Structure 1
Amino acid sequence: MPKLRSWVLVMINESPRSVSFDVMKVSQPIGDFFIGKMSAKELIDISWFDVRKKIGNDDLDEYLGIQRTVNTKRVEEIARYVRLPDATFPTAVVLAVEGRTVALDEICKSDSPGSFYKMTLTNVPGDHLDANTVLFRGIARVLDGQHRIRGLQESDINKEEFDVNVCIFVDADIADQAGIFATVNLAQTKVNKSLVYDLLSYSKSRSPEKSCHTVTVLLDSTEKSPFYKRIKRLGVATDGRFGEVLTQATVVQALLPLLTKDIIRDREIGKTTGHWSAAGPYDPDLLIFRRWFFEEKDGLIADQIMHYFEAVRRHWQRQWDDPQPGEILVRSNGFRALMSLMRPMYNALKSHEGDFVKMSSFYEIIKNIDIDGDAINSRNYLPGTGGERSLFKDFLRASGLADYD
């Protein structure tokens, strides 16, 4: 016990430590704050996360903290993402620091005196029970960016060579800090995923997302396609079109699991070598389009999907061509359920790896699915993943493909 107590005291009563970096002062209605850059290592060393939690056990429960609970999956994804050759965090991590930890030395670099400074952040050593103590690791409260910081912390990159731009508020009270967090996370418009996928057409390297975007464009632009002019390329209705039933994001996200199990790894290969021989073995029954992805045969993937959905359209033609309110066969849940059905149906029909299955072969199975098209609606299959999964299971049973799931 004495040894443990001694170790704790050594850790708490740390020596004075500091970190310095250049900043620019910015004045806005909320007040002044500072923009600068730090290495990932420096940022990790001084940051702490005030995760919101409930205290008490009665009707007067109070909540402390500002940050959301950590999403471990997102942290893992970021830890892998920062290893990519084109990794970037262009938006600032937002921090709050106490004025007593800050020293500013003006730098004369422009015609605007007082705009540029050398900022030094220093701990305030002392007993950990003393409210005046500020540990080095506790200098900066993170208002926005905790997942980026945790992802950087978990990654195996050289953290001294990865710069992060930071936005620092000095002596902002807790109400202002909470307001800043709410503004950053609620007031900004979320980027439309369909638009993000559409922008992948500008990428010079191949990736699963870019291939799925190419396939989606072919499905939407090919006159013989069951999806001809029926996909919202940018996620919103296209001017001059009527009858668009799916967003590009819905199509891409349903197609990706048929090409890849590791999007980030495949994106990295596309950026570095463009050859997937090093990607290792894969299960062709699970990733039915992966071989064609390797071979850059995006057009063949699109053709295979067209043949499959043309068989679907012929079996439920009225519901496909003229969906009524509430009918979901050709809408998001119906489409996703049918995409899930495509894998076992393809595996049941292919003669060997890489075979192209014709529409007529798909139709021989689909024509025997005795589910009334009028019953494929949002009342029987509720919106969300539960309704989608239920519809898929019904398709699977009715098609006699349960052994292939």
Structure 2
Amino acid sequence: MSEKMEYPYIELEQPGGTFYVTTMLASELVDRVEIKRRGSTPDGIQRNPDTKRISEIKKYALREDAVFPTPIIISCDGEIINTDTKTVSFTKHGSLGHILDGQHRVLGLQQLTKEQQAKFKLLVIFVTGTDVYSDATIFLTINSNQKPVPKSLIYDLFGISEERTEIKACHEIAKSLNSEKDSPLHNKIKMLGIKTSPTETISQSAFIDSLKPLVSSKGCFRAYYENERDDIILRILLSCFSALAKTFPTEWNSNNHLLAKTVGFGGLMKAMPQMFTAGAEQGSLTEEFFREIFERLRENLESRYLTLTKKDFQTSNDAMIKFSQLIIESI
């Protein structure tokens, strides 16, 4: 029988759940926790590791004055919490659970020898009975106001929620536009804000930041959102982007042009309410309707000797507004 290890805990009861606080030597902890990454596993919440940060933590841990006073938070199997003895109790082998916060500290400490790890007694907080949404909520609560967490990852984690929200609706639309092979935005969106392909030219956060106002209380897509007809929003956007890609094929498929980048996409979304109103009045929001607008836009650009490049549209909010105004003039 495997020898049991026991650590007394302090119980913290809060409105959102109960937490079990204890201390453990790094040498007894860091090799026994899992890291579930977003994109690698369906219930993953952690961002990709920052190798530079891990190296810096290792280097820091070797200093004589090194301290790690903040807790490692772990989602665990409730069986290791022994409420009779008020201890966290487990055998010397096997996983203790997966990390909700502290992955870089753990990865940095893993680079040390067991003797070096044993110098650090770590504050550890266990939480039990969580599902992936609870894990994501805890992760976001800790990290959403800290700069190192990419905004795209935060938006992606909101997509885990079973509750219907504006951000989740926008997330699902972005995911569909990016994944559908017939979509003009196929593989053009960096879904976690991390570029994995040369074709990805707009981040998920930029996409959602531009689309969300259209489904908000005063947005032109609000009625569809309230009636849970996100499929109609998706069809309108597909028609719009298909028309844009066919009208400006060279510009659409070139990384040197702004159309499929933040400036182009943001400008298009700023002009969408006016295009939507015009299309609704005509009873048409088809690809043909948008194609007529973009043909006039092309003529408008040519008459002013403007190209859809940084030469005439700097990557700034002013350029986004300038592009949206040109679209509006072409309706």
TM-score, with length taken from structure 2: 0.54
Matched with 1:207 is: 165
Matched with 2:182 is: 224
RMSD: 3.5
1:5-48 Cα shifts (integer Å, max 9, x gaps): xxxxxxxxxxxxxxxxxxx999x94779799xxxxxxxxxxxxx
Q: Distance in 1 between matches of 2:147 and 2:184?
A: 33
Q: Distance in 2 between matches of 1:288 and 1:306?
A: 16
Matched with 1:321 is: 253
Q: Offset at 1:380?
A: 1.4
Q: Distance in 2 between matches of 1:25 and 1:211?
A: 39
Q: Offset at 1:290?
A: 0.8
Structure 1 stretches of at least 4 aligned residues deviating more than 4 Å after TM superposition: 30-35
Q: Distance in 1 between matches of 2:317 and 2:207?
A: 15
Q: Distance in 2 between matches of 1:331 and 1:235?
A: 13
Matched, 1:360 2:288: yes
Matched with 1:335 is: 265
- Return closer, same or farther for 1:386/1:204 CA change in 2, 3 Å cut-off: same
Q: Offset at 1:365?
A: 2.1
Q: Offset at 1:233?
A: 0.6
Give unpaired runs (5+ residues) of structure 2: 1-20, 24-60, 72-99, 102-122, 124-142
- Return closer, same or farther for 1:32/1:338 CA change in 2, 3 Å cut-off: closer
SS in 2 for 1:371: helix
**Across the two proteins, how many residue pairs are aligned to each other?**
203
Instruction: Note if contact 2:188-2:260 (Cα within 8 Å) is conserved in structure 1.
Output: no
Q: How does 1:234-245 map to 2 (within 5 A)?
A: 234-238=192-196, 241-245=197-201
Q: Distance in 1 between matches of 2:163 and 2:67?
A: 44
Q: Distance in 2 between matches of 1:312 and 1:199?
A: 30
Q: Offset at 1:254?
A: 0.4
Matched with 1:63 is: none
Larger Rg: 1
Instruction: Note if contact 1:308-1:342 (Cα within 8 Å) is conserved in structure 2.
Output: no
Q: Distance in 1 between matches of 2:67 and 2:160?
A: 40
Matched with 2:208 is: 252
Q: Distance in 1 between matches of 2:225 and 2:166?
A: 8
Matched with 1:297 is: 229
Matched with 2:281 is: 351
1:349-369 Cα shifts (integer Å, max 9, x gaps): 1138xx661111111222112
Identity of aligned residues (%): 24
Instruction: Note if contact 2:306-2:312 (Cα within 8 Å) is conserved in structure 1.
Output: no
Instruction: Note if contact 1:313-1:320 (Cα within 8 Å) is conserved in structure 2.
Output: yes
Q: Distance in 2 between matches of 1:362 and 1:32?
A: 57
- Return closer, same or farther for 1:32/1:395 CA change in 2, 3 Å cut-off: closer
TM-score, with length taken from structure 1: 0.44
- Return closer, same or farther for 1:296/1:322 CA change in 2, 3 Å cut-off: same
Q: Distance in 2 between matches of 1:333 and 1:228?
A: 18
- Paired AA for residue 280 in structure 2: K
Matched with 2:321 is: 389
SS in 1 for 2:264: helix
Give unpaired runs (5+ residues) of structure 1: 1-23, 36-89, 92-114, 116-183, 262-285
Instruction: Note if contact 1:198-1:234 (Cα within 8 Å) is conserved in structure 2.
Output: yes
